[in-house]
Amino acid sequence: MFPPGQKVLVAAFAMLFATAGCPAASPEPPEKPAQQAPLPARFTDAAARIIEAARKDEASYRRLQELCDRIGHRSAGTPSYDRAAAWSVEQMRAFGMTNPRLEDVPINRWTRGRESLTLLTPGGPRPIPMLGLGRSIGTPADGIQGEVVVVRDFEELERVKDTVKGKIVLYNFPMREQGEGFGGYGEAVAYRSGGAVRAAQHGAIAALVRSVTTRGMRTPHTGMMSYQDGVPRIPAAAIPIEDAMSFQRMQDRGDRVTVRLFMEAKNLPDGPSPNVLAELPGREKPEEIVVIGAHLDSWDVGCGAHDDGAGVTMTIDAVRLLKELGLTPRRTVRVVLFTNEERGIDGGRGYAELHRAEAARHVAAFETDSGGFRPKRIGVGGTDEAVAMVQRYEPLFETLGPVEIRKGGGGADISFLGKDGVPLLGLGTESGHYFDYHHSDADTVDKVDPNDYRESLAAFTLMTWVLAEMDETLPRTPPPTTPPPAPAAGVAK
Amino acid sequence: MFPPGQKVLVAAFAMLFATAGCPAASPEPPEKPAQQAPLPARFTDAAARIIEAARKDEASYRRLQELCDRIGHRSAGTPSYDRAAAWSVEQMRAFGMTNPRLEDVPINRWTRGRESLTLLTPGGPRPIPMLGLGRSIGTPADGIQGEVVVVRDFEELERVKDTVKGKIVLYNFPMREQGEGFGGYGEAVAYRSGGAVRAAQHGAIAALVRSVTTRGMRTPHTGMMSYQDGVPRIPAAAIPIEDAMSFQRMQDRGDRVTVRLFMEAKNLPDGPSPNVLAELPGREKPEEIVVIGAHLDSWDVGCGAHDDGAGVTMTIDAVRLLKELGLTPRRTVRVVLFTNEERGIDGGRGYAELHRAEAARHVAAFETDSGGFRPKRIGVGGTDEAVAMVQRYEPLFETLGPVEIRKGGGGADISFLGKDGVPLLGLGTESGHYFDYHHSDADTVDKVDPNDYRESLAAFTLMTWVLAEMDETLPRTPPPTTPPPAPAAGVAK
């Protein structure tokens, strides 16, 4: 479905991340180790103190509110992102982190510009809410006008493929209600990611996709799409689920559905954008690095409160809480706030490339990118031995829900470190409502419940402490075989 | 709060309607009559047949879908409204209603034009979703730029009134969660209706209001506002609850909140727009008229599926079902689909004026304008004797939930008939989610559950049959004393 080509690979990555973390998709989990010796008091004591402090913490949630209110969205490559990066440095400097700094990496520079979709028939003209998809090309200046062919899935497209030439294909694939994990997303996002290519292969002039969500208030949800070499590039946009359903009914009723799509979207040449880094130096093994991270960028709508603002402030405040509690761990904790995860995971790729020389000193990488919901699990990517080592600390999390520690986890941004053998971990949350807000104007800070957020802050801080303090060193992850296994991640993009 | 002046009176009406139907606000209900003689078989048999037919009916919900898909919004005075009026005539002609026709009445002609709100500081510029309020004036062509003063309510405005001169007042009054009735709406809508006047009295240059809803996906909700003679007219717009909360936090944090508001809104001179009328002539007393109605117009966003598209198709199909069942009642049933309820109840006023000569022959008027939810009650405005007479038929509704028949009811559109003594009735629904969609782009047909809709269709059709068939004639409602009591209505605008 996604033959080689850089952008396509990125989309393939995104797809793989999307399905990982789903119980059904996980490889059989290793047996949990039999009850071992009790954990040393320095873990149990620290755990109790971390959980208590995080649960009563006011500053971190306030910081998330401030990030959203003062800066708004943080689309990589925009002045707003740059303000967020400077703000992050300032935040970390204020409580004495070591060497807060910006580190430029090359990123895709896509700009949305003005855009609109107008229903012409039946009963038009009337405006249809829409969001162009990330990396899509624009339309000619006077738009693209055409008849819409609605299909429910790729299979139906195949059946009607001879009728779509010169027309606009709408994929009306309904996302399944989310249970645990991100399985429903993985299935539905295929239409957003690959729909334009499939439609263009049959001569379509544009692609529309039903927003990847299960609930809507006429809310379009954007996200990345990709092209394929040798297939004409056509513009692609998301419409609300309401309008996809309406277009379907119109077609079923025999009405001719015609629209005009206008998009100024452009892909400019790649340019620099900064990751944000800072450290809490380790007390015994400062040369060993535990990366904790989240992506600082968001889509250019809403303020990315769940995706991934909550992760950003959790990451910053995990270190602040450790400092306030006087818990300096044995190893160095490095905060990395990644740029441009949304349009290509560029920050994660760039970080791994810039830090390849010290890759061997990265002993673990831990990402939070599942929103500011209650913590449910911590996924551990890597060998069964690594999983078992981390599982030994599961009892520390018991009062948090509990939080299950299980095989299979990581995150989009840190996935590139995984290729260098770094064990990857990801925080999983009670994410049943994640996609209500995801990539939409509705992903605002009021959607993050402060108490749920604090529970995840506690879990994230505690696992950070464990990774940086544990006696054992997690075994490296062996290089991927070919074809590579799905990068283990609890994170959907 | 609303001194005389036509537009102000309209707003006052809207306010009163908004609170009526709320249990706490109702006058003490009369004792229900002791068990009377069983209802004649022609009622019990017809009730069973009507309920059965409505519950399995597919056509009415499909009609509602078609109205939304083919026509979209139905803002009075637009070509879209005119198409809806022509469509309604066609629908009623198709199943043989008598004399489907358009009847022009004068309406307010307000046009929205382009509009936008931009947050300038902190962290701007960024667009804020907004909807100008109905009947608001526009801004100068280059907009209005100013500092925002956020107040939680009128009381706080009074405390800070000396600081609002030359500024933009934002009312951040949170609507209470709805229980039964529309009490929370009545309380919150005062800021939308009267906020501009109160702000202008203290020298404000524009007014913003938190959308009157309890849940949002960054969704602004519009609605009518009004001006007051002698007070400067300033533009007024609604913003999503998310942004109202954000502006509040910004102010509380000490940030200076500045925005630019741009609105092309205009009030053109009044012009004609049609009500839609048709009859089912009575078999014994054709000169006696039972009006059943809903308002055909909607706001110029979404498609007004709950408000009041569902009422429109229920009204049309109540007659179709009676015809299909061969149930021609004793009295004439007249369908009236009213124009421009939203911006001034002009269709209702116009109908009452045009038909004053036959007012005495109107024996009842029954409105549905509480959305396509499950039926909960039928409110009866009028004398206690009238209420008791209708309550006698309550057992017929038992399998529908049951549906309670109680004192206090009517509807905005039919309220003008009430002044001529016509007993008024209104269908009340399980409306806890009504304001999630109300007056927003999200009021689309997928929000109307087909089964809930059919239950209300059954209740509405059955009460239509009762009113047109009952042996008794409901006593006229005495003319209002001065000041008039709240027009009894189960309907919020």
- Give the distance from CA A120 to its chain's centroid: 36
What Cα–Cα distance (Å) separates residue A402 from each residue in A248, A393, A395, A427, B231?
Answer: 44, 12, 8, 13, 60
Token representation of residue B470: 């009952």
Q: Does A442 touch chain B (CB under 8 A)?
A: yes
Q: Does B70 touch chain A (CB under 8 A)?
A: yes
Please name the residue of chain B whose CA is at the shortest distance from the CA of residue A251. Answer: B69
What residues in B contact A83, CB-CB < 8 Å?
A: 123
Please report how the helices A183-201 and A6-19 are oriented relative to each other, as an axis angle in degrees rounded to 10. Answer: 150
Q: Are A334 and A278 in contact (CB under 8 A)?
A: yes
- Residue A149 distance to chain B (closest CA, Å): 16
Q: How many angstroms separate the CA atoms of A277 and B449, rounded?
A: 51
Q: Are B295 and B342 in contact (CB under 8 A)?
A: yes
* Cis peptide bond N-terminal to A122, omega within 30: yes
Q: How many angstroms separate the CA atoms of A464 and A45, rounded?
A: 15
What residues in B contact A217, CB-CB < 8 Å?
A: 216-217, 219, 436-437, 440-442
pLDDT given at position A99: 98
What is residue A224's DSSP assignment? B
The H or E element that residue B132 is part of is strand B131-132
Q: Does B479 touch chain A (CB under 8 A)?
A: no
What sign results for the dihedral spanned by CA atoms A416, A493, A90, A366?
Answer: negative
Pairwise CB contact (< 8 Å): A123 & B70: yes
Pairwise CB contact (< 8 Å): A70 & B123: yes
Mean pLDDT of B365-390: 97
What is residue A134's DSSP assignment? B
- Give the distance from CA A113 to its chain's centroid: 23
Q: Which residues face B268 on adjacent strands?
A: B109
The H or E element that residue A456 is part of is helix A450-469
- In A54-210, DSSP assigns E strands to 98-111, 115-121, 126-128, 131-132, 144-151, 168-171, 206-210
C-alpha closest to that of B168 among B240, B261, B244:
B261
Residue of B69, B126, B302 with shortest CB distance to A218: B302
pLDDT in tens, B72-124: 999 999 999 999 999 999 999 999 999 999 999 999 999 999 999 999 999 88
Q: How many angstroms separate the CA atoms of B227 and B236, rounded?
A: 10
Q: How many angstroms separate the CA atoms of A80 and A73, rounded?
A: 7
What residues in A contact B73, CB-CB < 8 Å?
A: 126
Per-position DSSP letters for B290-358, written without gaps between them: EEEEEE----SSS--IIIIIHHHHHHHHHHHHHHHTT---SEEEEEEEES--TTT-HHHHHHHHHTGGG
pLDDT in tens, A199-219: 999 999 999 999 999 988 999
Pairwise CB contact (< 8 Å): A218 & B242: no
Residue of A71, A218, A249 with shortest CB distance to B69: A249
Q: Among the residues of B76-173, which ranges form H helices?
A: 79-94, 154-159
* Chain B residues 99-138 with CB within 8 Å of chain A: 119, 122-124, 126, 129
Q: Which position has the token pair 């706490």? A: B24
Residues of B forming the active site:
341
Is residue A341 flagged as an active site residue? Answer: yes
B14 pLDDT above the threshold of 90: no
Q: How confident is the model at residue A331 (pLDDT cuts 50, 70, 90)?
A: very high
pLDDT given at position A37: 80
Preferred mutation among B251, B300, B446, B448 to probe A, highest tally of A CBs within 10 A = B446
- Residue B364 distance to chain A (closest CA, Å): 35
Q: Which residues face A107 on adjacent strands?
A: A271
Q: Which residues face A426 on adjacent strands?
A: A367, A379
Pairwise CB contact (< 8 Å): A216 & B442: yes
Mean pLDDT of B466-480: 93
What Cα–Cα distance (Å) separates residue B170 from each residue in B153, B159, B257?
Answer: 9, 14, 11
Q: Say how many CB pairs under 8 Å bridge A and B.
A: 95
Q: Are B10 and B226 in contact (CB under 8 A)?
A: yes
Q: How many angstroms separate the CA atoms of A138 and A132, rounded?
A: 9
Dihedral class, residue A96 (left if φ above 0, else alpha if ψ from -120 to 50, else beta): left
Q: Are B266 and B113 in contact (CB under 8 A)?
A: yes
Name the catalytic one among A341, A367, A394, A469. Answer: A341
Please name the residue of chain A whose CA is at the shortest distance from the CA of residue B129. Answer: A441
- Residue B274 distance to chain A (closest CA, Å): 19
Residue of B218, B241, B250 with shortest CB distance to A441: B218
Q: Which position has the token pair 């500045």? A: B258
Pairwise CB contact (< 8 Å): A446 & B71: no
* Chain B residues 231-260 with CB within 8 Å of chain A: 241-242, 245-246, 249-250, 253, 255
Dihedral class, residue B424 (left if φ above 0, else alpha if ψ from -120 to 50, else beta): beta
Q: How confident is the model at residue A491 (pLDDT cuts 50, 70, 90)?
A: very low
* Chain B residues 407-436 with CB within 8 Å of chain A: 436
* Cis peptide bond N-terminal to B125, omega within 30: yes
Residue of B123, B246, B437 with shortest CB distance to A83: B123
pLDDT in tens, A288-298: 999 999 999 99
Mean pLDDT of B272-291: 98
B458 pLDDT above the threshold of 70: yes
What is residue A307's DSSP assignment? I
What residues in B contact A59, CB-CB < 8 Å?
A: none
Please name the residue of chain B whose CA is at the shortest distance from the CA of residue A219. Answer: B217
Q: How many angstroms separate the CA atoms of A463 and A379, rounded?
A: 11
Token representation of residue B368: 């549905």
Q: Are B377 and B406 in contact (CB under 8 A)?
A: yes
What is residue A305's DSSP assignment? I
Q: How confident is the model at residue B386 (pLDDT cuts 50, 70, 90)?
A: very high
Q: Are A250 and B251 in contact (CB under 8 A)?
A: no
Pairwise CB contact (< 8 Å): B250 & A441: no
What residues in B contact A218, CB-CB < 8 Å?
A: 219, 302, 440-442, 444
A89 pLDDT above the threshold of 90: yes
pLDDT given at position A177: 82
A179 pLDDT above the threshold of 70: no
- In A240-397, DSSP assigns E strands to 258-263, 266-280, 285-295, 331-338, 362-368, 375-381
Q: Does A59 touch chain B (CB under 8 A)?
A: no
Per-position DSSP letters for B230-253, written without gaps between them: TS----EEEE-HHHHHHHHHHHHH
What is residue B182's DSSP assignment? T
Pairwise CB contact (< 8 Å): A126 & B72: yes
Q: Are B463 and B291 in contact (CB under 8 A)?
A: no
* Chain A residues 377-396 with CB within 8 Å of chain B: none
Neighbours of A285 (CB within 10 A): 15
Q: Does B79 touch chain A (CB under 8 A)?
A: no
pLDDT given at position B305: 98
Q: How many angstroms separate the CA atoms of A126 and A355, rounded?
A: 52
Let me know if B485 is exposed, middle or buried by CB neighbors in 10 A (0-12, 13-18, 19+).
exposed
What residues in B contact A78, CB-CB < 8 Å?
A: none
Pairwise CB contact (< 8 Å): A123 & B446: no
Q: How confident is the model at residue B430 (pLDDT cuts 50, 70, 90)?
A: very high
C-alpha closest to that of B64 among B417, B445, B367:
B445
- Pseudo-torsion of CA B16, B22, B26, B32, nearest 10°? 140
Let me know if B155 is exposed, middle or buried by CB neighbors in 10 A (0-12, 13-18, 19+).
exposed
Sequence-ordered list of residues with C-beta below 8 angstroms from that of A29, at least 6 positions apart, any chain: A387, A406, A407, A408
Neighbours of A397 (CB within 10 A): 22
**Domains in chain A and their CATH numbers?**
33-108+269-469 (3.40.630.10), 113-264 (3.50.30.30)
pLDDT in tens, A372-425: 999 999 999 999 999 999 999 999 999 998 899 999 999 999 999 999 999 999
What residues in A contact B445, CB-CB < 8 Å?
A: 246
pLDDT given at position A124: 84
What Cα–Cα distance (Å) separates residue A120 from each residue in A124, A144, A145, B69?
Answer: 4, 12, 9, 12
Q: Does A65 touch chain B (CB under 8 A)?
A: yes
pLDDT in tens, A279-325: 999 999 999 999 999 999 999 999 999 999 999 999 999 999 999 99
3-state DSSP call for residue B384? helix
Token representation of residue A207: 């692609």
Pairwise CB contact (< 8 Å): B217 & A245: no
Per-residue b or e along B338-373, where b marks 16 or more CB atoms closer than 10 Å to that residue's CB: bbbbbbbbbbbbbbbeebeeebeebbbbbbbbbbbb
Q: How many angstroms separate the CA atoms of B434 and A250, rounded?
A: 26
What residues in A contact B129, CB-CB < 8 Å?
A: 441
C-alpha closest to that of B417 among B343, B340, B487, B490:
B487
pLDDT in tens, B197-235: 999 999 999 999 999 999 889 999 999 999 999 999 999
Phi, psi of A259 (to 5 degrees): -140, 165
Q: Among the residues of A162-309, which ranges form H helices?
A: 183-201, 241-253
Q: How many angstroms separate the CA atoms of A344 and B135, rounded?
A: 46
A490 pLDDT above the threshold of 70: no
ipTM for the predicted complex: 0.91
Dihedral class, residue A99 (left if φ above 0, else alpha if ψ from -120 to 50, else beta): left
Residue of A69, A83, A241 with shortest CB distance to B249: A69
pLDDT given at position B481: 67
